[in-house]
Amino acid sequence: MIKFSQIPALVLAVCSFLVLGCTSSSVLTSSSLSAGSKQRVTELSPAEFKKWGHLDPMLDTVPGMSVERAYEELIKKRKGQGVLVAIIDSGIDLDHEDLKGLFWENPKEIPGDGVDNDQNGYADDVHGYNFLGESYHEQLEFTRILARKIGDSTLQSQAKKELDSRIAETTASLAQLQQIEKMVALADQTVQKKLGKDFYSFKDLQKYESVNEEEEQLLEILFQVYGTGQDVPTVLADLRGGVAYYQAQLDYNLNLDFNARAEVGDDPYILTEIGYGDGNPDIRDPEESHGTHVSGIVAANRKSKKGVKGVAQNVKIISLRVVPDGDEYDKDVAHAIRYAADHGAKIINASFGKKFSPHASWVQEALAYAASKDVLFVHAAGNDGIDLDDPKNSNYPNDHYSKSGARPLDNYITVGALAPSYGPDMIATFSNYGKESVDIFAPGDEIYSTMPGNEYEFQGGTSMAAPAVAGLAAVLRSHFPELNAAEVKQIILESGIPVPFPVRAGDKDYALSELCKSGKMANLYNAFLLAEKKVAGR
């Protein structure tokens, strides 16, 4: 599962701290880019860090996609043509300052009249569609399998094992986080009271004289908090966010009695039903930020001089609200893929995934339909840090549907995540991998992008790597419309940059060619050159 509300990295750092205290690129032109053997030894500046995924592996010694270099040296003033990118995700903030004007408008639909004007089965679908109605929280798929008694005894047994394991893990993590939050809060309150001030500095803390062993222990906790590089209010806020994260899992994701779908009004296990939900794919919950962050990576206005620049320009976004805080339904995913294909999308970004998929065939059929419509499907590899080639590991949807295990879809790209470190640790620790199951890696950890309410934030996940590649594909389809989806995929894989040193995944070192099919990291500069060469050679 790819969760929207990831626990802040700071929470994990504090927890750890306190617990301890208590292929060849020869097909390209001679001017194509390659990776050097030099590894970065200095830190990125704050400005560089915000755009590291757009930087250049050779010039900047970070595993970026050479986006800015491609625009400066290759794309320049070329206009290209418009491209529709469907984003199947959570709701998107349709009014965000860096996304305004970038949403597709259905020319045949009259907004707000409650009528299906274009007779496509979806009323008021002006910018896309919302398959979730007013719901946001959801169960995980294995919870639903047990609650609704889906599948045979083997599937039920697998689901129960998963649910029991997750409940135990979540309960333990929640208890630990609550205890740590309690300790930090008590220490903070004690120091505030003795110093007579609500806010105090590290220097104030250094001058504090404890009078007994209990105070000494509380003081040590605060020193450990400052040792993380953050102040106490920030750490407390993050700890409380972590507590809310785990509590929500118990209340919704892992709760057999929770049924959010009752708000939608359909039966999610009857595929023939359409038109449920509504035509407004905007956000419904203050925590619903994932789709907005993903959208900014693909297409944030490159000319606005506001928070960020997307990888692609000339893009219009079809917003498809499908993925809740929990697991998406196969039915919704299948309908959203077909909707995107029927309304002219050339690329679909899918930054979601789950371990169980009782109706995977519905999604498979929709993917085949998208292939027939020349749509490229870009999917996040998942955030479990596992080898997807291992038969016991799974991440749905995927393109391993045939009985032989072959990959029949040539319009499907699976993307792993890179961290902002050009060296052995450049594979993000959370990223899934697999020589046959993952196609390529792209920037995905600590990515700065749009958030609801005209905000911006760093987030990490293969959820962030997939839209980087979707944006790359949009650039190619804008400037080289002669290329079909399969050709765009092949160009992206061929033009990627191999890495001349071992990289770490899990607890072992590998050549990048052992971790993904292409053995490369995505690169816009090289992809543009190769696309140009292929089109010129026709």
- Which of these three, 191, 218, 253, is where a domain ends? 253
Query: Has residue 16 been placed in a domain?
Result: no
Query: Has residue 349 been placed in a domain?
Result: yes
- Which of these three, 205, 221, 253, is where a domain ends? 253
Query: Has residue 48 been placed in a domain?
Result: yes
Number of domains in the chain: 2
Q: Are residues 131 and 180 in the same domain?
A: no
Q: Are residues 213 and 302 in the same domain?
A: no
| pLDDT score recorded for residue 8 | 52
> What is the C-alpha radius of gyration for the chain, rounded to an integer number of angstroms?
24
How many residues are present in the chain? 538
The CATH number for 357's domain is 3.40.50.200
CB atoms within 10 A of CB 62: 24
Distance CA 3, CA 103 (A): 25
φ/ψ (deg, to 5) at 105? -120, 125
Q: Are residues 233 and 298 in the same domain?
A: no
Q: Are residues 280 and 352 in the same domain?
A: yes
Distance CA 53, CA 34 (A): 16
Q: Are residues 292 and 351 in the same domain?
A: yes
Q: Are residues 404 and 291 in the same domain?
A: yes
Q: Are residues 448 and 517 in the same domain?
A: yes
The letter for the amino acid at 21 is G
Q: Are residues 334 and 465 in the same domain?
A: yes
Query: Has residue 21 been placed in a domain?
Result: no
Query: Has residue 144 been placed in a domain?
Result: no
Q: Are residues 53 and 194 in the same domain?
A: no
- Which of these three, 253, 281, 298, is where a domain ends? 253
388, 395 contact by CB (below 8 A) = yes
| pLDDT score recorded for residue 4 | 40
Q: Are residues 428 and 396 in the same domain?
A: yes
Query: Has residue 32 been placed in a domain?
Result: no
Q: Are residues 367 and 470 in the same domain?
A: yes
Q: Find the Cα–Cα–Cα–Cα dihedral 484, 486, 489, 490, rounded to 10°.
A: -110
Q: Are residues 105 and 63 in the same domain?
A: yes
Query: Has residue 3 been placed in a domain?
Result: no
Distance CA 377, CA 389 (A): 20
At 448 the three-state DSSP class reads strand
CB atoms within 10 A of CB 113: 10
130, 283 contact by CB (below 8 A) = no
Domain extent, residue 505, equals 44-137+273-536
Q: Which of 67, 508, 26, 21 is nearest to 302 (CA)?
A: 67
Per-residue pLDDT of the chain (538 residues; tens, 9 = 90+): 444 444 555 555 555 555 544 433 333 443 566 776 667 767 899 999 999 999 999 899 999 999 999 999 999 989 999 999 999 999 999 999 999 999 999 999 999 999 999 999 999 999 999 999 999 999 999 999 999 999 999 999 999 999 999 999 999 999 999 999 999 999 999 889 888 888 888 888 888 887 788 888 888 888 888 888 888 898 999 999 999 999 999 999 999 999 999 889 899 999 999 999 999 999 999 999 999 999 999 999 999 888 999 999 999 999 999 999 999 999 999 999 999 999 999 999 999 999 999 999 999 999 999 999 999 999 999 999 999 999 999 999 998 765 455 567 899 999 999 999 999 999 999 999 999 999 999 999 999 999 999 999 999 999 999 999 999 999 999 999 999 999 999 999 999 999 999 999 988 999 999 999 999 999 999 999 999 999 998 7
Query: Has residue 306 been placed in a domain?
Result: yes
| pLDDT score recorded for residue 454 | 97
